[in-house]
Each structure stands twice: as C-alpha cells, then as structure tokens.
Amino acid sequence: MAVAEFLDTAQGRRLAYHKSEGAGPTVVFLGGLKSDMEGTKAVHLEAWAKERGQAFLRFDYSGHGESGGAFEEGCIGDWHEDTAAAVAELTEGPLIVVGSSMGGWQALLLAKMMPDRIAGLVTIAAAPDFTEDGYWASFTDAQKQALEEVGRVELPSDYMEPYIITKRMIEDGRARLVLRSPLELPFPVRFLQGTEDTAVSTATAVRLLEHASGPDMRLLLVKDADHRFSDGPCLGLIEQAVLDVMNAS
C-alpha cells in the first residue's frame, strides 16, 4: 500500500492525500462524512484512473482518516476549505469532480467556487444541505435544547459509531446551503442514487436535479442500491458516469 503524502494548509490543517500523475482532466474524489480515502469507491477509481493513465487525487478532510484534527471540531466550511486547498495545491487544469454523500455537497460548493476549472461533475448519493434538512429538521425539542446548552448531540449511525453533531456544524452548515439559492452547473453533470439508500432519499436526489440548472444534467436511479453504492455493478456505473461527463465536456 502506498504511503500517504501530506499537505499543510493555510488554515493550519494537515491533510493526507494520494495523488497519481497522468493525463488530464484530473479526477478528484471527495468522500463522505466520517469516511476516508481508503474507501472502496476512492481506491477503485484510483486504480481505474491509473489503468487509463489519468491523473487522480484522493484525500482525507481534516478530522478524517489519516489527516490531522478531530472530527468533532470540524464542519462543512472547514472541509470546504480543505477541498479548495487540496485542489489548488495538488492539481492543475480541468477537473472531473466525483463526490460521494457529504462529498457531493462539497463538490457543489467547489463548483460554485471555481466553475471554470470543472470539466464535469459526478455525485453518488449526494447529500447537499443535510445538516439543515436532515439533522436540524429531525431534531426533537430536547435535542435542539441540548445543542444550545451543551453544544452537541449524539446521533446513531447505520454504518459506524454514533455521530457527534455540534452546534458549530449546524450553524456553519446554514452558511453553506446550496438548495436555497441559484445553483448553476455549467458543465456535464451525472447524479447517481440508489433507491434503497437509508441515509439519502431519492427525494433529495430529485430535489437537487430540479433545483440545479445546467446544459447537460442527468439523474440515474439504481433500484435496490444502498448508500454505499460500492458493489461491482455500482462501481461500473461510477466509471461510466466519469467517462460520460469527460466525453461530453
């Protein structure tokens, strides 16, 4: 297994990454909340890109994986800064951005920040605005009170240990919402979504498709696929989506 390299950002965070050189556009993988760059989709896409001789970047947000910092101290804005720093320092030229779950929100934030560099966008179970529409909207009065008084609440997860959700994450998320204002995506876009996803609903995927505007945008619903979207057929669909936006750009 290759040893990770590290990038020190202007915000004082230390990010672990793996970068492989090759032809452009560079494929950049953005992982989900509490996920890391050793996940099935990230590693598979890297191997696929290497076989094609294509440049590729995967990295861990601060508080995730091999990067420095504590998860509980982070928020959407911090991870957006991490993404922007990794892209600015470690890539050149056009990008194909692939965002999974929370990484889908990060991909949309990156698209708003630097649309001229993005040649294509693929999301997998994208979770835009989930701190507001998922967490805050479902909190009980007791949880909202705990968030205000204690500064955090603990939520169970289907996939790992409970999430610690902080007041800072909720408040920062409100400053990063992408479904409340125009979202222009002026490049080929493919949204992938499983119908058996218990973390992100198909309604969220449809809402994103209907809200965003752009010249070439499609949503693929995959019957019975779950949030991981990482079995053999799903990985093949991700590859095809990346090729699709690359060839259309």
**Is pLDDT at 66 greater than 90 in this prediction?**
yes
User: Beta strand pairing status for 5-8 and 23-30?
Assistant: unpaired
pLDDT higher than 90, residue 1: no
Backbone angles phi, psi at 190, to 5 degrees: -130, 120
DSSP code for 73 = G
CA gap 212, 103 in Å, rounded? 17
Tell me: pLDDT of 85 over 90.
Answer: yes
pLDDT in tens, 14-23: 999 999 999 9
String of DSSP letters for 84-125:
HHHHHHH--S-EEEEEETHHHHHHHHHHHH-GGGEEEEEEES
Query: Helix crossing, 76-90 with 102-113: angle to 10°?
Result: 60
Q: What is the per-residue pLDDT for 41?
A: 96
Q: Given this model, what pLDDT does residue 223 score? A: 96
Question: What pLDDT does residue 159 have?
Answer: 63
The sign one gets for the Cα dihedral 49, 241, 191, 155 is: negative
Q: For residue 68, what pLDDT is reported?
A: 96
Per-residue pLDDT, 155: 81
Its pTM stands at 0.95
Q: Helix/strand/coil (H, E, C) string of 177-201? A: CCCCCCCECCCCEEEEEECCCCCCC
| Beta strand 163-166 pairing with 152-155 | antiparallel
164-214: per-residue pLDDT in tens? 899 999 999 999 999 999 999 999 999 999 999 999 999 999 999 999 999
Mean pLDDT of 137-150: 93
- The answer on pLDDT for 114 being more than 90 is yes
d(CA 190, CA 97): 11
Percent of residues, the chain, with pLDDT higher than 90 = 92
- Given pLDDT bands bounded at 50, 70 and 90, which one contains residue 158? low
Q: What is the mean pLDDT of the chain?
A: 95
